[in-house]
Structure formats: C-alpha cells, structure tokens
Structure 1
C-alpha cells in the first residue's frame, strides 16, 4: 500500500516538549507542514545522532513553517529522562512523542512487531494532513536533516507551483521542469 497522498490516521499521544508533557493528535499535523520522524529507541546509538542533527537544523524547518515530531515506542517519561541526561537530546526543541502501545507506529506502517520498536521512518505531511514524502531506512542507516530539508522545500515548491516538478538534486532557486509532450525524450 502506498502512503503517498493518504491522510494521517487518527491518533492521540503524549509528548515531551519544552519541559512539559503535552497531548498531540493528528489534528496538530494539519494547517502546516509537518515531519513525523520515527526512530527505534531512546538511549541508543544512531538515534541521538539523527535527533541531534534535526535539533541543529530545527530553526531552518521552522522558517519554512514546518513542525517536527519525533516518535518512538518509548514513553514520554523516557523521553524526558533522556532529555535530562544527554547533551545531544537537551538541544531538542520539537515535540518528542511517546508511542508505547505502537498505535501511531503501526498507523504509519513502521512498527517492527517482533521487537516492539519503530523502523527509521520519515513522513512529510502537507497542511491538509496528507503524506507527501515517505522514507524508511534500515536500523543501522542514519538520516540527514539537510537532505530532509531539501526534500521539504521541493514538496512545498511543487505544492505551490502546479504543473512544475523538481528534478533530482533540485535545490531552492534552481530550475524546475514543466512536464509536457514536448519534453518527452529530451531529458
């Protein structure tokens, strides 16, 4: 099943954010661009490098009107404990959602049943609550926040410029393509 252009399924969870526990639902993802960033577990190895990279680039995402939500099958209490004990995780200013039942992780198709953990899944959601980008990595392969930022910019550009598409390696300000019969076989 393709998740592209599908709506985010209903959920309700508790997140650790800005020193507090807050409720988060699928409604919070609507009305703005969102990134839902699944990772296997707190207090691990690749995960803090990814979350720290997102934290280091969070201001750039915010400039684009994008909110980031990290999600693991840990509890919101575990997120707070990790935040309080790790210099890397202390930098995080985005909500860290706890999904101890795996409900959200299953909704996005990244739940590893036999382990009770999430795959490294990245989902970019448009303001209508529809998934526009899906990336799933094996557990040992970390993601790059700058590449995610580039993809978000491309998704936002395509959404605001009907009839145009962004070619491989497209960066903001570069030429796009306008698919047409005249372009067939000329690229």
Structure 2
C-alpha cells in the first residue's frame, strides 16, 4: 500500500540539531513543508555525500519554507559524533534524527529488518502532515538535492494552484497543464 496522501504517524524522537539534543515530534512539522530524508547509517560512504549535498542546498529549502529531517537508525549521540568528526557532516544545520528502535523507519516503510537499517527514502510532507512525494533508492544510489528542490517546488505549486498539474521536467515559472477533456490526446 502506498503512503502517498497518508498522514505521518505520531512519533517522538531525539535529534542532534545545532549543537543540542532536541525532541522532534510529528507536531513540529505542522504548518510547514517537511522532508524526511532516511539514510542507512552514520560513518558510511554514500550517506555523507547525500547529506553534504542537502547541507549545501539547505538555504534554498529554507527559502521554500521546508525543513529537512535527516533520519537513520543511529542514535542522536552518534549523529553528534559524526557531525563533530566529519567536515561534510559538520556543514549540516538541519535536525539529524535518531531512530534506534526503527519506529520512524517502520512508519515510513523503509526499514530493512534483517539489517536494522533504513533504505534511502525521501518523503516530502505538506503543512497538514500529508505525504505528497516518495522516493526510494537502492543502497548504492545517491540522491540529488537539486532534483529534490524541483520536486518540492512542484508539490508546492500544485498545492497552491487547484486544478493545475506540473508536467515532466517542470521548473518554477514554466508552463503547467490544466487537465480537461479538450487536452486529451493533444499532448
């Protein structure tokens, strides 16, 4: 069953954020766009390249009113140690959520049970807490922050423009479509 258009389930988790340990719940995302960015583990190989890419583009996400929550089954303590020891991870200004019990990974259906790790899952959640975008990648395939930014912009556009849809490769300012009987067979 797809999680698209479903609400984020209640949760409470500890995160490392801006030098402190903080509690994060589903209530923290209400009223803003949120991105849950699951990755397998701290101190690995593809993960830091993805998280550094997000960190390098964080201001653009913030300008869209979107918060990023990086999530792995590591603890918030491990996140702090990684943040303090890695130049790439040291750039991160968004919350790094610990999910050692796998509750969040299971809620978002990205838990690899036999490994105790999360798949590379990206979830864009609207201000009402409803999942609008899901992307799952195999472990060896890194994600691209610029592509994610484009998708967030498209989701926000569709949410604000009832009846319009964004075609493939749509970027902000580009032409959209308004589905109707007159459009059928003309694309």
TM over 0.5: yes
Residue in 1 that maps onto 2:147? 147
**1:119 lines up with 2:119 in the alignment:** yes
Secondary structure of the structure 2 residue equivalent to 1:49 = helix
TM-score, normalisation: structure 1:
1.00
Give CA deviations for 1:126-169 in whole Å, capped at 9, x if unaligned: 00000000000000000000000000000000000000000000
Secondary structure of the structure 2 residue equivalent to 1:94 = coil
Aligned residues, how many? 187
Q: d(CA) in 2 for partners of 1:29 and 1:134?
A: 17
Tell me, which stretches of 5 or more residues in structure 1 are unaligned?
none
Q: d(CA) in 2 for partners of 1:62 and 1:41?
A: 25
**1:8 lines up with 2:8 in the alignment:** yes
Which aligned segments of 4 or more residues in structure 1 are displaced greater than 6 angstroms? none
> RMSD between aligned alpha carbons?
0.3
Alignment of 1:60-71 (within 5 A): 60-71=60-71
Q: d(CA) in 2 for partners of 1:115 and 1:52?
A: 24
Q: d(CA) in 2 for partners of 1:150 and 1:129?
A: 20
Q: d(CA) in 2 for partners of 1:185 and 1:115?
A: 47
Q: d(CA) in 2 for partners of 1:73 and 1:61?
A: 24
**1:85 lines up with 2:85 in the alignment:** yes
